[in-house]
Amino acid sequence: SQKIEQNSEALNIQEGKTATLTCNYTNYSPAYLQWYRQDPGRGPVFLLLIRENEKEKRKERLKVTFDTTLKQSLFHITASQPADSATYLCALQNYGGSQGNLIFGKGTKLSVKP
């Protein structure tokens, strides 16, 4: 069956360290993979999109990798800050899917301690 998994429900790190979040999928052939940030009680906010033929994408302190052989995306936040504390969602879009078919993972709750 098709599955998208984010490695852990929660991740606690110290301020200044690099946070690494994992998104694994099975039985999908994603054309694109996206990462969103969601704060409690609010809607998700788009962060980055990476295409299947891209290995890596960067935006300020954020870096995303996409390995279609391992069926995995890694999301890194370097020099993390308490303000980075939030839930991070990965979402993928399959080849051949209609525009409605963005499939979301359950998210990883990141806590950055001062």
Partner 1 sequence: DGGITQSPKYLFRKEGQNVTLSCEQNLNHDAMYWYRQDPGQGLRLIYYSQIVNDFQKGDIAEGYSVSREKKESFPLTVTSAQKNPTAFYLCASSTQGSLAYEQYFGPGTRLTVT
User: Among 53, 60, 52, 91, which Cα is nearest to 76's?
Assistant: 60
In this structure, what token pair is assigned to residue 4? 């998208």
Using CB under 8 A as the binding rule, whether residue 96 contacts partner 1 is answered as: no
DSSP-derived 3-state class of residue 16: coil
Map residues 3-42 to x or -, x wherever contact with partner 1 holds by CB under 8 A.
-x----x---------------------xx-x------xx
Q: Tell which one of 17, 46, 55, 67 touches partner 1 (CB under 8 A).
A: 46
> Smallest distance from the beta carbon of 7 to partner 1, in angstroms?
14
Told to check if 92 binds partner 1 by CB under 8 A, we report no
Phi-psi region of 107 (alpha: psi -120 to 50; beta: other; left: phi over 0): left
